[in-house]
Amino acid sequence: MADSIISLKHLVKKFGNQTVLKDINFDVHTSEIVGLIGPSGAGKSTVIKTALGMEVADGGSAKVFNTTMPNRELLANIGYMAQTDALYDDLSGRENLKFFAVMKGLSRKETINEIEHVSKVVDLTDDLDKRVSGYSGGMMRRLSLAIALLGKPKLLILDEPTVGIDPALRRQIWKELQHIRNEVRGILITTHVMDEAELTDKVALLLDGKVMAFDKPDVLKMQYDVDSIENVFLKAEGVL
Amino acid sequence: MRIISIMNRVLKELFRDKRTLALMFLAPVLILLLLSFIFNSNSTTDVDIATVSMPSNISANLDNTKHVSVTKYNTKEAAKRALKDDKVDAIIQQKGSNYNLTYANTDSTKTTVVKMAFKNAMTNTTIETLKSKLTVASTALAKVQSQMPNASSSMAQKKQTTVKPKITNHYVYGDSNTGFFDKILPILMGFFVFFFVFLISGMALLKERTSGTLDRLLATPVKRYEIVFGYMASYGILAVIQTIIIVMVTVWLLGIQVVGNIFYVILINLVLALVALAFGILISTFANSEFQMMQFIPILVIPQIFFSGIIPLDSMAGWVKDISYIIPIKYSGDAATRVIMQGGGLSSLGSDFGVLFIFLIILTILNVVGLKRYRKV
Ligand SMILES: Nc1ncnc2c1ncn2[C@@H]1O[C@H](COP(=O)(O)OP(=O)(O)O)[C@@H](O)[C@H]1O
Ligand SMILES: [Mg+2]
């Protein structure tokens, strides 16, 4: 079995008296794409933020690279893409990339190569010197993804990365994600696009603050005796 | 490296936002120009002077001066009451051979008019008395000289002592230096720096928080203090530019004299800007929208001007004075006043700088620790 890079055990997270995460258990290994799916408001983003150390768990443990989070230095090995685009509108795409490259601690030379590489992956090479304020929603999403990819992090955590991206580019991005996985890196991705869940290696179904199911898409479909992840989801919710 | 990168980014964003830039650099200039027009234009002020036991020849001379009218009061108390009730602008009282002048001084232009009028009246009266005395003296001199050749020098000395009365000035409000505009300028300068840096930096950090870039920034291995210092560096530069513009306008356009070293004035405002920055960042964490940030201005920024020394604090209640000790603009105002009006050196600014640095250190620590709310390490 490959190394575990994210390990969540009995994770509990409360906001005030609302218990958003009751008991979260799952692992992400290297060479693995794990999809976290669940309805809006299920707590997907909260799982991610706790794993990153932006929120502190109220119970259980969140370990990344076998180190209990929060841990600042570890963040250098994590590429994070938030659900909101979080870009500096007055700067150009290139300036955004450059800024975050420095924040991630890349060297000057690495920065230039990396910017060229990641902007090719998200198909933004021609628009790099435009101001972000002039970008379309999809372009912003792509730039945001490009920032997460900077520096070839060992772990990618992507919160709904393909929202607002057209199908052709979405396919291209998934291809890149699979390529990243094959480089012995790991990816945790949240999505509510069910056919994307089919492309992952493992799916974690988040409902009621718990991971209701966690396995390969094919295994889940068999378990629930349905033909798509969408139906797995609906059956788990009790709609089907 | 990260600090410089954050500084560069903030500066880039600022310099691309032309409106904000104009607000920071042009608005203070505009307001200063307007204020200088308002305070320096009313040169034809009419003044009322109360006289108490004044020789009639001086009173008459005063009354003959343009824009001056004289009212005679029998007692000092009655005149003081009139001064308090705003019926007269100044009291002139003769005490023996000396004169006591009391100015309301709420309007420094009026004080100047009274001073000038009294000086002229005195000169005119002296000339008149001299003339008449001279004729008397010269006839007496001629008579005496024939009998006592040594008397002439003592006579001349005696004459001199009688024509040089002592004039004492009293100010109900302020002091002799009070030209209102001159007085408020050093404080106003600080206020502009504080106001704009507070507002713009607070907004910038608020935007960083609400747009999610702060989260994203904190998802990199950046240290919390690097973010705070990066902001400080960029807004420090901005404040220096702003202060230089304000100083240039005041010195060259408004012709206000800076007695001391202009460099100290810039230094004071730089430190004040950093305090404002740290304060703005801190306060922005309590706001969830730009409108909420604006709501802090009438509560936290505007009232500072009342405690800053624009209105003399000596005449205020004790607790008002106590509040003024926690007002950053008061310290920058005091220090800048000392440099601009009295030519104070660095050593005379020590305590003001000290207090500002204490503000700065406390607020900076609060900010660095406060960022823990968004990332726990
Ligand atoms: N900082 C917060 N303070 C209070 N409640 C929060 C906070 N963040 C998230 N929540 C709540 O936690 C629940 C899960 O939110 P989230 O993790 O964003 O869901 P998802 O990403 O699955 O759509 C929601 O009910 C949301 O209101
Ligand atoms: Mg979410």
Centroid of ligand 2 to alpha carbon of A43 (angstroms): 7
Please give the residue that has the higher pLDDT: either B33 or A99.
A99
A148: phi then psi, degrees, rounded to nearest 5: -65, -30
Domain positions in chain A are 4-88+154-237
Largest CA distance in chain B: 108
What strand order describes the sheet that includes A18-29?
Answer: A67-68, A59-64, A4-15, A18-29, A210-215, A202-207, A32-37, A186-191, A155-159, A78-81
Per DSSP, the residues of chain A read -PPEEEEEEEEEEEETTEEEEEEEEEEEETTEEEEEE--TTSSHHHHHHHHHTSS--SEEEEEETTEESP-TGGGGGEEEE-SS----TTSBHHHHHHHHHHHHT--HHHHHHHHHHHHHHTT-GGGTTSBGGG--HHHHHHHHHHHHHTT--SEEEEESTTTT--HHHHHHHHHHHHHHHHTT-EEEEEES-HHHHTTSSEEEEEETTEEEEEE-HHHHHHHHT-SSHHHHHHHHHT--
Q: What is the pLDDT of residues A8-62, one digit of tens each?
A: 889 899 988 888 898 888 899 888 999 998 888 888 999 998 888 888 888 888 8
Structure tokens at A18: 């609302």
Residue B264 amino acid letter = Y
Any ligand 1 atom below 6 A from CB of A15:
yes
* pLDDT of the residue at B43: 52
Q: Is A61 on the interface with B (CB under 8 A)?
A: no
> What gap in Å lies between CA B338 and CA B260, rounded to an integer?
8
Structure tokens at A210: 């718990």
> What gap in Å lies between CA B261 and CA B269, rounded to an integer?
13
* pLDDT of the residue at B185: 80
Check pLDDT > 60 for residue A189.
yes
Check pLDDT > 70 for residue A141.
yes
Structure tokens at B337: 């006043």
Q: Is A129 on the interface with B (CB under 8 A)?
A: no
* pLDDT of the residue at B174: 61
C-alpha torsion angle, residues B313, B258, B343, B266 (rounded to 10): 80
DSSP 8-state symbol, B349:
G
CB contacts, 8 Å: A48 with chain B: none
Q: Which residue has the tokens 């304020």?
A: A133
Structure tokens at B87: 């019926």
Residue B18 amino acid letter = K
CB contacts, 8 Å: A84 with chain B: 211-212
Any ligand 1 atom below 6 A from CB of A42:
yes
* pLDDT of the residue at A175: 87
* Residue A44, C-beta contacts closer than 8 angstroms, at least 6 positions apart: A36, A37, A38, A159, A190, A206
Go through the domains of chain B in sequence order and give each one's CATH number.
47-171 (3.40.190), 181-374 (no CATH)
CB contact under 8 A, A53 and B211: no
> What is the nearest CA distance from A83 to chain B, expressed in angstroms?
9
Per DSSP, the residues of B279-290 read HHHHHHTT-SSH
SS3 content of chain B, % helix, strand, coil (to 5): 70, 10, 20
DSSP 8-state symbol, B348:
G
- Residue A98 — pLDDT band, cuts 50, 70, 90? very high
Hey, which of A83-97, A191-205, B53-67 has the most confident mean pLDDT?
A83-97
| C-alpha angle A111-A113-A116 in degrees, rounded to nearest 5 | 105
Nearest CA to ligand 1 atom 17: A43
Contact between A75 and A51 (Cβ < 8 Å): no
> What gap in Å lies between CA A154 and CA A48, rounded to an integer?
16
Contact between B3 and B223 (Cβ < 8 Å): no
Helix (H) or strand (E) holding B253: none
CATH class name, domain A4-88+154-237: alpha beta
DSSP 8-state symbol, B250:
I
- ipTM of predicted complex: 0.88
* pLDDT of the residue at B163: 55
CB atoms within 10 A of CB B70: 22
Nearest CA to ligand 1 atom 4: A15
* Residue B94, C-beta contacts closer than 8 angstroms, at least 6 positions apart: B52, B53, B54, B55, B100
**Predicted TM-score (pTM) of this structure:** 0.76
Mean pLDDT, chain A, whole residue set: 88
Q: Which residue has the tokens 């349905």?
A: A226
* pLDDT of the residue at A97: 95
Closest residue to A103, CB basis, from B12, B222, B377: B222
Ligand 1 closest atom vs CA A40: 23
* Residue B197, C-beta contacts closer than 8 angstroms, at least 6 positions apart: B235, B238, B239, B242, B273, B276, B277, B280
- Residue B25 exposed, middle or buried by CB count within 10 Å (0-12, 13-18, 19+): middle
Counting ligands in written order, the one closest to the CA of A206 is 1
CB atoms within 10 A of CB A77: 17
Q: Is B325 helix (H, G, I), strand (E, B) or coil?
A: coil
Instruction: Indicate the pairing of strand A67-68 with strand A59-64.
Output: antiparallel
CB contact under 8 A, A104 and B216: no
Cα–chain center distance at B308 = 9
* pLDDT of the residue at B318: 78
Q: What is the mean pLDDT of each run of 10 residues along chain B (377 residues)?
A: 93 89 86 78 72 85 84 88 85 86 78 82 83 81 69 50 70 64 80 88 89 90 92 88 84 76 88 91 89 89 82 73 84 86 80 92 92 83
Check pLDDT > 70 for residue A202.
yes
Cross-strand bridge partners of residue B90: B49, B103
Closest residue to B212, CB basis, from A52, A86, A95: A86
